[in-house]
Structure 1
């Protein structure tokens, strides 16, 4: 294995053409490497929806960063004009459909090692699976510090269970993975939602109440580039919930109320269905505050006139806005509502002999967090990002970084690490 790891970052730069990335604005199909993963984060994937409420289980992730040869972690979301922005486009490509076609197979080593070439000691070859196609939904993001997620701007991370559903000659391929996979190339392009019928779906996110509410929106005809809500007599721009591109933080039509009106823009920045307005209320089933990861609501609609009025801009929020002070005071190191609670969930992003890459999702409970601490019993960590680690005996303790300690009620943040040995098996602890 060590004999194979001789190529430097120059090989990575040489294998991928230099491109001026325009996330979502590609003129035609593009080609990149494809990998797979098993599940979205909990309770939400990167786009802000629970996995079981997606309109399809044929989903994929796009790269957060476009940083060939640079595997550092950067705060999210990034500035819109930041050259490091990848195809994820700060969540603006969430909810879009992608037509994916299977490409060539690598006969060598295609392990995505940082600073190493793709398909080392081998070549790309065609086989009987080339041309198999599947329409898939953007539901998550890939920000891992490996070659796939940094060096290949058109890399796709596919839902594992979807790979054998790719169709060729009118039938699913059935046995593409594992025997014929090998992290193949794929060719893909964005498309409008295939065979679209009906209307959008709206759900309140966990922790929503009359003084602080967020909604996630899915079943979109052509993605989502913005939401506006009607508050205090005017339409205003709705802030995105960090870079979860289908999750937005809304205000009621009147302060302290529970009635809401929104309209949605698609990826062309046109109003969905000509500016159709959606009116809905915080449901009684939430009991004052929504505890489920997502509570879908019914709504009534009013047809728009198709025009594109300019909404009143809102003040850009911090990455994790907090509830209105009249009920939940702005968090301080000692919240008046009592100690906040949190949970931490672990997933294995990748494994290799003697090591692995792990990702931990920290989820706030009913109250927002101003800081968090996660314990990893039995872990051995060689490097870590989006947190500060200390080790005592066999336990690693990770505290928030300076930029991600504040987490809205029901919201999430993540950190990742490279571990040695076997992946973490013990339950994680989380405290605020």
Structure 2
């Protein structure tokens, strides 16, 4: 059984969602880059529209090999809780980490195959009436990017804290000894074990990509930040008072933020970005840009790319 990712909320709902300051809940200690995690893996067909859980359309992702992480860490509790989870419910935060792991790359390694029933039924053990065995697909690897969230009420997304949901089209692109496995899915899948760890963006070149979200305009300047060397934890903008301010995340869509202009009611912006280690990206490089003319009333496209110039922090 493959879990179905929760339907994407409509844009009007996204706009109305309560937002919190990024970093109000500290990252959980078990998501460090040094950790290698093992869990069950499932698969799903692709990102919803207009965005995946990180706030980007699928076409804008750095890689078409992508995964979803668990929103919740609530074993045997299949209730739904507010997103993003507040500090008072920090114990329920899954590896999604309120979106703070968006845009990070992971290396995934194929593990053992289940010979029994491995359907993720709520309240039921994994691999019932069977056992875990190794086969020729063990140790095949693929590097993938975090782009979506798994918040479903099933055992995968609640009972297995290290669960990964992989895009289906990637399964047969895993390689072993430099050769794609080719036929891992469907006949040799059965929601196998995988091990995985966070890694830097592979072969990274260039700089950030910025775009305005659908519905963005002068009074709701919502942007998405992508092409990241090491994920993103927060965005800061230079406010009209001349000081750097923390941008509010758009719900828990970890690459989407609501910024402010450099002058009151203006349409010019300056931002800087902190990565997954909370370090300022490129030594605090400042990205300066303006609201595109096609967004004068409201951006109609899901993502409107915008150019920028760069400088150093004030």
State the TM-score, normalized to the length of structure 1. 0.65
Q: 1:220 aligns with which of 228, 234, 251?
A: 228
Partners of 1:101 and 1:134 within 8 A in 2: yes
1:89 paired to 2:91: no
Find the counterpart in structure 2 of residue 266 from structure 1.
Answer: 275
Name the CA distance, whole Å, in 2 between partners of 1:304 and 1:187: 40
Name the CA distance, whole Å, in 1 between partners of 2:297 and 2:175: 46
Structure 1 residue runs without a partner (length 5+): 1-20, 306-432
Q: 2:312 aligns with which of 303, 325, 330?
A: 303
Please, what is the CA RMSD of the aligned residues?
A: 1.2
Partners of 1:23 and 1:86 within 8 A in 2: no
Partners of 2:32 and 2:198 within 8 A in 1: no
Name the CA distance, whole Å, in 2 between partners of 1:236 and 1:304: 13
Distance 1:64 1:287, change over 3 A: same
Distance 1:23 1:203, change over 3 A: farther
Find the counterpart in structure 2 of residue 317 from structure 1.
Answer: none
Find the counterpart in structure 2 of residue 395 from structure 1.
Answer: none
Find the counterpart in structure 2 of residue 34 from structure 1.
Answer: 41
Map Cα deviations across residues 269-299 of structure 1 (whole Å, 9 max, x no partner).
Answer: 1000000000000111334321100101000
Q: 2:84 aligns with which of 52, 77, 97?
A: 77
Name the CA distance, whole Å, in 2 between partners of 1:275 and 1:51: 28
Question: Secondary structure at 1:248's aligned position in 2?
Answer: strand
Give the number of the structure whose alpha-carbon radius of gyration is greater: 1
Aligned residues: 285
**Cα offset, 1:212, TM superposition:** 1.4
1:288 paired to 2:297: yes
Partners of 1:23 and 1:89 within 8 A in 2: no
Find the counterpart in structure 1 of residue 284 from structure 2.
Answer: 275
Partners of 2:34 and 2:198 within 8 A in 1: no
**Cα offset, 1:23, TM superposition:** 4.8
| Structure having greater relative contact order (Cα 8 Å, sep ≥ 6) | 2
Structure 2 residue runs without a partner (length 5+): 1-27
- Greater per-residue helix proportion: 2
Question: Secondary structure at 2:92's aligned position in 1?
Answer: coil
**Cα offset, 1:28, TM superposition:** 2.2
Find the counterpart in structure 2 of residue 132 from structure 1.
Answer: 140
Q: 1:176 aligns with which of 175, 184, 199?
A: 184
Name the CA distance, whole Å, in 1 between partners of 2:262 and 2:142: 41
Find the counterpart in structure 1 of residue 150 from structure 2.
Answer: 142
1:46 paired to 2:56: no
Partners of 2:218 and 2:296 within 8 A in 1: no
Question: Secondary structure at 1:67's aligned position in 2?
Answer: coil
Name the CA distance, whole Å, in 2 between partners of 1:208 and 1:168: 44
Name the CA distance, whole Å, in 1 between partners of 2:95 and 2:30: 5
Name the CA distance, whole Å, in 2 between partners of 1:132 and 1:65: 28
- Greater per-residue strand proportion: 1
Map Cα deviations across residues 332-372 of structure 1 (whole Å, 9 max, x no partner).
Answer: xxxxxxxxxxxxxxxxxxxxxxxxxxxxxxxxxxxxxxxxx
